[in-house]
Amino acid sequence: MSHPNDEDPAELFRSAIGQVTPLRKGSGPTPSAPKPRPRARMAERDEQEALGEFARLLRAGPPLDAGDALSYRRDNLPPRMFQRLKKGQYSVQDELDLHGATATQAEQLLRQFLLEAHDHEHGCVRIIHGKGLQSDGGAPVLKNLVDRHLRLRNDVLAFHSAPTAQGGTGAVLVLLAR
């Protein structure tokens, strides 16, 4: 047997919850203001730290110009191996092109690339950073970033700007420790 009120959903609801006591105005919790949209504070902090690190690296020495060659050799690397690198006589096993990347993106890409090169036991890689002719302020940002970053890495034995046929002063050949 069905009640005549079974069809009215509002009446069903009232009978299910029972008797209620209305709240007085001002009693109980008040609705709070909407919460602010979340911000990527950690990403913003990382970006600022990376820019600070880049600025510190640039202050470590005079910045390179667009036509300058990148060149570095650890003392324990035989000069003959460095000469072969300068001439482009090592087989390039992988390549990273940084064109169009921001300084922060380039640093992340460079770190990841070198980790993967190490994991694959590559001996020689090429990094294309461009000559920096489009850089604001004159100094080629990516070229200087690559130069400073590679000098700080323990797994880099040597690097030198590529021969003209392999990118010239817009690319660098890197000899890695295995």
At 32 the pLDDT is: 75
What are the φ/ψ torsions at residue 62 (nearest 5 degrees)?
-65, 140
At 42 the pLDDT is: 74
Contacts of residue 110, Cβ cutoff 8 Å, sequence gap at least 6:
96, 98, 127, 145, 146, 149
- In the chain, beta strands by DSSP E: 71-73, 94-97, 124-128, 156-161, 171-176
Task: Give the chain's domains with CATH numbers.
Answer: 65-176 (3.30.1370.110)
Residue 167 identity? G
The tens digit of pLDDT for each residue in 42-71 reads 766 766 666 665 556 555 666 777 678 889
Gyration radius of the chain over CA positions:
31
- For residue 55, the SS3 value is helix
* d(C-alpha 176, C-alpha 178), whole Å: 6
- Residue 18 scores a pLDDT above 80: yes
Mean pLDDT of 4-31: 76
At 171 the pLDDT is: 94
- Residue 157 scores a pLDDT above 60: yes
What totals of helices (H) and strands (E) does the chain contain, helices first? Answer: 5, 5
How many residues make up the chain in this entry?
Answer: 178
pTM for this predicted structure:
0.65
Tokens (6 digits) for 124:
């020689």
Residues 146-158 as b or e (16 or more Cβ within 10 Å = b): bbbbbeebeebbb
- Residue 175 scores a pLDDT above 70: yes
Contacts of residue 87, Cβ cutoff 8 Å, sequence gap at least 6:
163
Q: Answer whether 175's CB lies under 8 Å from 157's CB.
A: yes
The tens digit of pLDDT for each residue in 116-139 reads 999 999 999 999 998 876 666 667
* d(C-alpha 27, C-alpha 59), whole Å: 62
Mean pLDDT of 104-120: 93
